[in-house]
Amino acid sequence: MKAVHLFCFVAVSIGCSFTSSSRGAAPDASPIDFARDVRPILSKHCFACHGPDRNGQDTELRLDVRDSALEHAIQPNSAESSELMQRITADDAELRMPPATSKIPPLNDQQIDVLRRWIDGGAAYTTHWAYRPIQKPNPPVVDDVAWARNPIDAFVRAENALRQVEQAAPADAHVLARRISLDLLGLPPDRQTVDDYIRQPSDATYEQLVDSLLASPHFGERMAVLWLDLVRFADTCGYHGDQHRELDVYRDYVIDSFNHNRPFDQFTIQQLAGDLLPDASTETQIASGYNRLLQTTEEGGAQPKEYRAIYDADRVRNVSTVWLGTTLGCAQCHDHKFDPFTTRDFYRMAAVFADVGEVEVGRQVENLELPTDEQRQEMARLNDAIAIAKQATVGDSPSEAAQQRLKELEGELGKLRATIRKTLVTQAVPRRTTRILPRGNWLDESGEVVDAAIPAVFQPVTGEQIECNSRLDFARWLVSDGNPLTPRVFVNHLWRVMFGTGLVTTAEDFGAQGSYPTHPMLLDWLAGEFRDSGWNVKHLLKLIAMSRVYQQSSDIDALSLQHDPFNRWLNRQHRYRLEAEFVRDNALAVSGLLKPEIGGASVKPYQPDGYWAQLNFPKRTYRADDGDRQYRRGLYTYWCRTFLHPSLVAFDAPSREECTARRTRSNTPLQALVLLNDPSYVEAARALTDLVLGDPPTQNGEDDHARIKWAFERVLFRAATPPELEVVQRVLNEQRARYRSSPGDARSLLRVGQQPDFKGDDLAAAEAAAWMSAMRVMLNLHETITRS
């Protein structure tokens, strides 16, 4: 039986309740919604055998298609007469569904009740929420008009009013200033900015602060971390040898795009098909480097056909996750078990990229050279000189001097070209034949030859089919009104930037196995606003930043902790640890070490000796950078896929072998050890100590408490509490006693990184080392590495 795709629209009541523990089950008082309440249950317990995958079905029953379900298993308005209910409640293990042999857990009483109420109510099916066309809803009227500053507030407040849930108080001014800076820049604010805002914490001054942050060149750096995770950017190719490759120019393109607020539709098209644009430029060629970000192999013995299949699958997985929020990669070997994607859809999307020129397996990749004007002029001069020198070597007996001169000039040219920045770009070639690989087997060429196309579920039910004859066609479709997923998926990422988690918590999966939106109408309003604004990223982020919802305190009371521990209702702000790069950036910034240069080649921070010992083919030695390059932002850290920098690993940075739509947030003892012992943080503590002992104004001479208070203001942008003063003072006194008795240990501690040798006597060295130990504690505080 053919699947019947019902493109109908259902208005989701603003009063629909959602709890952190009831996904797939609605409270008795609320109406049953198929997409929110029923489909998740069927997807988890039934679709593996009775879902979209035709090859996995033991019967004709399709519970994802209403016609099939009504024909075989469901009698609308009568749960008691429906075989579905009889099977899931059967006492006989031979009759009960799902069968015990399937290893799928049985339905619980709450889930059974949801299905019973749904069937008794008519067993209505609706299109999966993520695939419905975006219809921008009107913001609801709320009980507290003064509180709701913009539509975001209205959507959140309307739902919480029905739940009788109060919103949190506004965050303190210093908390909000630090929060918005960390969210938009990945850096703490400067002290003057915070002081200016605290003196006059009005809506107008806050808006000025937001505007200044969005205009900062560091905004692009912060957003690049999000994007580079999604598109799996790295400095190495992965797989066997994990060799180096040139792609940092692409990273600069991403930073520049966010800084200049390039519309997201243009940003998309340039990356997928920048080389095919009628007005293609060097910039759009650089953008097309997206198609080369996947893992590749340079092993000479690898099978070319095998790796073409691997590359095709990699590109399909990434594009479908980044722009569509789907797990289309699951359809590589069989039709998707839970979502309406077929194996044919998978290979037709792979065919979109059949014109991307691949370097043959085992050969070094070709790069686009990007010389500066000065380098271009010098190359022209050397090429002219080489041409003249070659003429001097023509003849029966060219002089040794002429040959030596030619050799010297060619050497100079080689050295010059080695300094030119290079990057991988896409070069279109005649399209390769793409066929369905049965069970994903690259050796089996019996499958049907297919052309490029978008997934069938997105084709109009009636009317002309959407053409997809090239990467450019496909890229334009991704950001067209006919595709409802791209705006929903990306605004969910933008929400995650500002709240730490998306309105759809499974940012990588908007399908049947993913999470239902906590605020579906808000998500659609944001998606519609994003599209209507011309895909304006800064506009949407400012809207979120200016909302009362965003500006709430993250403090939690006992009642909220009991009823909404994961803050799904948004009656407060989220509190969470900074991402790996920003943990280090924050330490460098508050210590005064951070070098704010934007863009450029990747850098190598301090790393444990021998960490790359097993990195072979070829053997490589890690040499930490010196000078200012050692203090650049974590975004620019050399990203070695198989041996990612251990400090990044400790704080859950991904290897970027695959798309990472949301990072893990762990809390481990290893993180504390990194903060205490990694040379980057130890050196930051030394630099912070120099500031504490040198710059802070004090009212009582060399008063310890005055300096500790200054350190709290410097690191946390708030005053220290009396208990905190006592704790740090105790650490300081203990360390003073230790280092006064061991001055050699004091000098050893102070001799870290690139900091100058300490010039004072032993007593002064002990004092500096004691303060340095106290500053290590400051940089290790939970609050220091947390965004509140």
- For residue 666, the tally of other CB atoms under 10 A from its CB is 11
Number of H helices, E strands in the chain: 30, 4
Amino acid at 318: N
Instruction: Identify the pLDDT of residue 529.
Output: 98
Tens-digit pLDDT profile for residues 518-546 = 999 999 999 999 999 999 999 999 999 99
Alpha carbon of 511 to those of 12, 129, 483, 507: distances in Å?
18, 9, 15, 10
Q: Is 370 helix (H, G, I), strand (E, B) or coil?
A: strand
Two structure tokens written together for 633:
């932002």
Residues 280 and 429 in one domain: yes
Q: Is 552 helix (H, G, I), strand (E, B) or coil?
A: strand
Is 758 among the domain residues? yes
Percentage above 70 pLDDT, the chain: 93
Is 412 among the domain residues? yes
Residue 88 above 70 pLDDT?
Answer: yes
Instruction: Identify the pLDDT of residue 265.
Output: 98
Cα separation, 489 vs 718, whole angstroms:
36
- For residue 695, the tally of other CB atoms under 10 A from its CB is 10
Instruction: Identify the pLDDT of residue 360.
Output: 66
Task: For 255-280, give the secondary structure using H, E and C.
Answer: HHHHHCCCCHHHHHHHHHHCCCCCCC
Residues 357 and 438 in one domain: yes
- Of 176-185, 245-254, 294-303, the least confident: 294-303
- Of 19-28, 179-188, 541-550, 574-583, the least confident: 19-28
Cα separation, 410 vs 417, whole angstroms:
11
Alpha carbon of 60 to those of 47, 56, 72, 177, 344: distances in Å?
12, 11, 8, 59, 21
Cα separation, 653 vs 230, whole angstroms:
12
Strand stretches in 280-413, DSSP E? 368-370
Q: Is 311 helix (H, G, I), strand (E, B) or coil?
A: helix
- Average pLDDT over the chain reads 91
DSSP 721: P
Q: What is the mean pLDDT of residues 568-574?
A: 96
Cα separation, 383 vs 403, whole angstroms:
16
Q: Is 738 helix (H, G, I), strand (E, B) or coil?
A: helix
Residue 212 above 70 pLDDT?
Answer: yes
Last-in-domain residue among 127, 147, 182? 127
Number of compact structural domains in the chain: 4
Q: What is the mean pLDDT of residues 30-43?
A: 86
Last-in-domain residue among 127, 148, 178? 127
Q: How many CA atoms lie within 13 A of 423 on its CB side?
A: 27
Residue 93 above 60 pLDDT?
Answer: yes
CA-based nearest residue to 186, from 547, 537, 535, 596: 596
Amino acid at 111: Q
Residues 339 and 399 in one domain: no
Tens-digit pLDDT profile for residues 667-722 = 999 999 999 999 999 999 999 999 999 865 554 446 899 999 999 999 999 999 99
Residues 275 and 352 in one domain: yes
Residues 298 and 447 in one domain: yes
Q: Which bin fits 600, alpha (ψ -120 to 50), beta or left (φ > 0)?
A: left
CA-based nearest residue to 330, from 492, 511, 505, 457: 511
In sequence order, the 6+-apart residues with CB closer than 8 A to the CB of 464 are none
Residues 404 and 278 in one domain: no
Identify the band that residue 15 occupies on the pLDDT scale cut at 50, 70 and 90. Answer: very low
Two structure tokens written together for 389:
């020198």
Amino acid at 602: S
Residues 292 and 411 in one domain: no
- For residue 737, the tally of other CB atoms under 10 A from its CB is 12
Q: What is the mean pLDDT of residues 436-454?
A: 94
Instruction: Identify the pLDDT of residue 96.
Output: 87
Is 306 among the domain residues? yes
Cα separation, 742 vs 210, whole angstroms:
49
Instruction: With residue 691 as reference, give the H or E element that holds it.
Output: helix 679-694
Tens-digit pLDDT profile for residues 382-435 = 999 999 888 888 877 778 888 889 899 999 999 999 999 999 999 999 999 999
CA-based nearest residue to 453, from 435, 464, 440, 467: 467
Question: Look-up: residue for tokens 């709890």?
Answer: 19
Cα separation, 743 vs 148, whole angstroms:
60
Tens-digit pLDDT profile for residues 476-532 = 999 999 999 999 999 999 999 999 999 999 999 999 999 999 999 999 999 999 999
For CA atoms 594, 599, 601, 602, give the dihedral sign. positive
Two structure tokens written together for 529:
């606003």
Is 476 among the domain residues? yes
Residue 257 above 90 pLDDT?
Answer: yes
Cα separation, 26 vs 233, whole angstroms:
41
Q: What is the mean pLDDT of residues 751-756?
A: 90
Are 33 and 122 within 8 A, CB to CB? no
For 11-51, give the DSSP string.
PPPTT----TT-TT---TTSPP-IIIIIHHHHHHHTHHHHS
Instruction: Identify the pLDDT of residue 222.
Output: 99
Residue 5 above 70 pLDDT?
Answer: no
Reply yes or no: is the peptide bond before residue 430 cis, omega within 30 of 0. Answer: no
**Verdict on whether the full-model pTM lies above 0.85:** yes
Q: What is the mean pLDDT of residues 746-766?
A: 92
The runs of H, that is alpha helices, within 360-423 are 373-392, 400-419
Beta bridge partners of 370: 421
Q: Which residue has the higher pLDDT, 390 or 351?
A: 351
Cα separation, 780 vs 671, whole angstroms:
9
Q: Is 152 helix (H, G, I), strand (E, B) or coil?
A: helix
Are 272 and 290 within 8 A, CB to CB? yes
Identify the band that residue 27 occupies on the pLDDT scale cut at 50, 70 and 90. Answer: very low
Tens-digit pLDDT profile for residues 52-67 = 877 756 678 888 888 8
CA-based nearest residue to 323, from 537, 487, 480, 481: 487
Identify the band that residue 71 occupies on the pLDDT scale cut at 50, 70 and 90. Answer: confident
Last-in-domain residue among 127, 156, 171? 127
Alpha carbon of 20 to those of 155, 495, 509, 572: distances in Å?
19, 19, 18, 15
Residue 550 above 80 pLDDT?
Answer: yes
Percentage above 90 pLDDT, the chain: 72
Are 287 and 281 within 8 A, CB to CB? no
Is 21 among the domain residues? no
Are 749 and 772 within 8 A, CB to CB? yes
In sequence order, the 6+-apart residues with CB closer than 8 A to the CB of 31 are 13, 16, 121
Residues 724 and 746 in one domain: yes
Task: Give the distance from CA 528 to its chain's centroid.
Answer: 22
Question: Look-up: residue for tokens 């965004």?
Answer: 787
Instruction: With residue 577 as reference, give the H or E element that holds it.
Output: strand 576-577
Instruction: Identify the pLDDT of residue 701.
Output: 47
DSSP 699: S
Alpha carbon of 608 to those of 463, 472, 617, 619, 643: distances in Å?
62, 45, 21, 17, 12
Residues 354 and 475 in one domain: yes
Residue 294 above 60 pLDDT?
Answer: yes
The runs of H, that is alpha helices, within 173-216 are 173-185, 191-199, 203-214
CA-based nearest residue to 24, from 87, 112, 86: 112
Residues 386 and 366 in one domain: no
Residues 415 and 291 in one domain: no
Is 584 among the domain residues? no
Instruction: Identify the pLDDT of residue 140.
Output: 95
Is 312 among the domain residues? yes
Phi, psi values for residue 106, rounded to 5° = -70, 160
Residue 365 above 80 pLDDT?
Answer: no
Instruction: Identify the pLDDT of residue 462.
Output: 64
Cα separation, 60 vs 601, whole angstroms:
57
Alpha carbon of 314 to those of 286, 292, 311, 319, 359: distances in Å?
20, 11, 5, 9, 16
Q: Which domain holds residue 349?
A: 263-371+421-480
Residues 286 and 410 in one domain: no
Two structure tokens written together for 436:
């369905």
- For residue 133, the tally of other CB atoms under 10 A from its CB is 12
Tens-digit pLDDT profile for residues 225-235 = 999 999 999 99
Is 71 among the domain residues? yes
Q: What is the mean pLDDT of residues 619-639?
A: 96
Q: What is the mean pLDDT of residues 93-97?
A: 85
